[in-house]
Amino acid sequence: MSAHTMRIDPRQLAALVGSRLCHDLVSPLGAIGNGIELLELSDEFPGLTQTPEMRLIAESVNAAHHRIQAFRVAFGHAGKDQRVTRAELARLVEGMAGQCRMRVELTAFGTFPRPEIRMVVLAMMCLEHALPQGGRVSVLQDGSGWRLLAQAEQTRPDPALWSWLAPRDTPPQRAPAPSEVQFALLAEAAAELGRAIRWKLTGRSAEIAF
C-alpha cells in the first residue's frame, strides 16, 4: 500500500504519538535516577543524597516515572493481544495513588487485556480529579467487570464533566479541559470495547463501573 493510500485512524495515531512521547521521556528520567543511585554509592560526597535538595530530586524523579507509566497505559497504544499481570496493575495503581494522596485497595487476580487496564487507569484518573484532597479507592474485578469506588471527606462536584460517561446518545454538557481529557478518553475506550459505563458522584463518594 502506498503512502498516498494508507490512512491511520486518528485515535490510533494519537495513541501511537502518546506511546512515542512516553517512551522518549522514560530514558532521561532513568538516567537521572541512575545518577542519583551512583551518588548514593560514592564516597566522594558523603551525606549528599540525604540532603533535602537531593531527596526532593529523587522523589520528583520517582513521581515522574510513575506518572509516565500511567500515561503510557492511558494515552498510548493498547494492543488487543497484550496482557497485564496483577503485579503490573498493582504497581500502576499504587504509583498513581502515591502522587495524589489516595490509598488504593486492589482486589483482582490473574492477567488482563491491556485495553481493559487502559480503562481502569483512565477511570483512576477520573476519580483522582474528583478527589482534590485525596481519599480511599477500592479497585474490584470480578466476572461481571470492574468497579472503582472512591470515598473522601469531600468530592469535586462537576456533573457536566461526568456527563461524558453517560450513554453515547446523551450529548456531553461541556467540553473537557486538557486536565480533564481522561473523561472523554474513557468514554471512547468503553465504546471501542462495547462496555457500558455506570457512574455515581455524591458529596463524599464517586464510583465508576464497567
Name residue, grid cell 450529548: 171
Tell me, what's the pLDDT at 2? 53
Strand partners for 147: 140, 209
Q: What is the mean pLDDT of the chain?
A: 89
CA distance 127 to 97: 11
CATH topology classification for 81-209 = Heat Shock Protein 90 (3.30.565)
Interval 25-37 mean pLDDT: 81
Question: Is the pLDDT reported for residue 137 higher than 70?
Answer: yes
The model's pTM is 0.84
Checking if the pLDDT of 136 tops 70, the result is yes
Lowest mean pLDDT among 17-26, 76-85, 123-132, 169-178: 17-26
Q: How far apart are CA 144 and CA 146, in angstroms?
A: 7
pLDDT attached to residue 111: 95
Determine if residue 183 is left, alpha or beta; phi over 0 gives left, psi from -120 to 50 gives alpha, anything else beta: alpha
pLDDT above 70 as % of the chain: 97
pLDDT at residue 3 in the model: 56
pLDDT value at residue 6: 67
Confidence at residue 4, expressed as pLDDT on a 0 to 100 scale: 57
Which is higher by pLDDT, 203 or 29? 203
Condensed to tens digits (0 to 9), the pLDDT of residues 138-155 reads: 999 988 899 999 999 999
* pLDDT exceeds cutoff 60 at 5: no
pLDDT band at 177 (very low <50, low <70, confident <90, very high): very high
